[in-house]
Amino acid sequence: MGLLEGKTAIITGGSKGIGRAIATKYAQEGANVAFTYLSSEEKALALEGELASFGIKAKAYKSDASQYEAAEQLVKDVMEEFGSFDILINNAGITKDGLLMRMSEEQWDQVIEVNLKSSFNLTKSALRPLMKQRAGSIINISSIVGVRGNAGQANYAASKAGMIGFTKSVALELGSRGVRSNAIAPGFIATEMTEKLDEKMIKEWEDGIPLKRVGQVEDVANAAVFFGSDMSSYVTGQVLLVDGGMHT
Ligand code: NAD
């Protein structure tokens, strides 16, 4: 029996990268999966089919996580379609990098809205049903950059550090209702985003990682299974670094 048998998860930004890996691992572990996408309907529908082949219920929703009303509508739609849900994974995220000297107000606002405000939008919308069933797990995908900062990513670092403060506050507010809130802070994970980097740069990164390799999306998905499952039933308000030991 899978670790997530009988549970239903909402995953934002599920059609590629880390979100897709989490959706796949969740389906393998027996969870029903509702995931959102922004533009690539074809990819999303293909994934819906792949996930369903594990014998679970899967549905893709076109929904912009940075919009509050869209988040409310999504939770409503998922409740109608699935009856209930147990896990919320705030994974949608973007980067708009640049040194602060050159960073525009728009670059700042966009990253804060998509990465940080989306967590508020979804979590606030999901609160009532989770509190009512007195059980639930909220998982925020932060970043090592939110823990230690990064030159050229002041907006991204602030959004990801904000997610950590948000995670801990939600854990304090909702613990008595049986709802847990944790964050995962991935280090350098191989995705489409990192494919663009040249080999020399990746080698330099690897040299600085104690486990001597960049992370795979499955490494992050495994941590998400832990936080979503009853294996972590006494764990809340935590930030788990999945970074090969980079930040120790
Ligand atoms: P990705 O670009 O492959 O995936 C991001 C997903 O979010 C995409 O599916 C995209 O469509 C979706 N998305 C973007 N804006 C959205 C919006 N407004 N509403 C709904 N969906 C939206 O990137 P990834 O590497 O898979 O990143 C996933 C998460 O992990 C992000 O929050 C990212 O910040 C975080 N992260 C990634 C790394 C890494 O090394 N790849 C490291 C640390 C943290």
Residue 135 Cα to ligand 1 middle (Å)? 27
Q: Among 94, 147, 167, say which to mutate for ligand 1: greatest number of ligand atoms within 8 Å of CB.
A: 94
- pLDDT value at position 204? 86
pLDDT tens-digit map of 171-207 = 999 999 999 999 999 999 999 877 777 888 888 889 9
Ligand 1 within 6 A of 15 CB?
yes
DSSP 215: B
- pLDDT value at position 248? 87
Residue 168, pLDDT > 80, answer: yes
Which amino acid is present at 159? S
Q: Is 119 helix (H, G, I), strand (E, B) or coil?
A: helix
What is the rounded CA–CA span in Å between residue 197 and residue 193? Answer: 8
pLDDT tens-digit map of 28-78 = 999 999 999 999 899 999 999 999 999 999 999 999 999 999 999 999 999
Q: Is the pTM of this model over 0.95?
A: yes
Which amino acid is present at 19? G
Phi, psi of 241 (to 5 degrees): -80, 120
Instruction: State which ligand 1 atom lies nearest to the alpha carbon of 160.
Output: 34
Residue ranges and CATH numbers for the domains of the chain are 8-242 (3.40.50.720)
DSSP 246: S
- pLDDT value at position 236? 99
What is the rounded CA–CA span in Å between residue 209 and residue 205? Answer: 7
Asked if 234 is an active-site residue, the reply is no
pLDDT band at 86 (very low <50, low <70, confident <90, very high): very high
pLDDT tens-digit map of 87-129 = 999 999 999 999 999 999 999 999 999 999 999 999 999 999 9
- pLDDT value at position 108? 98
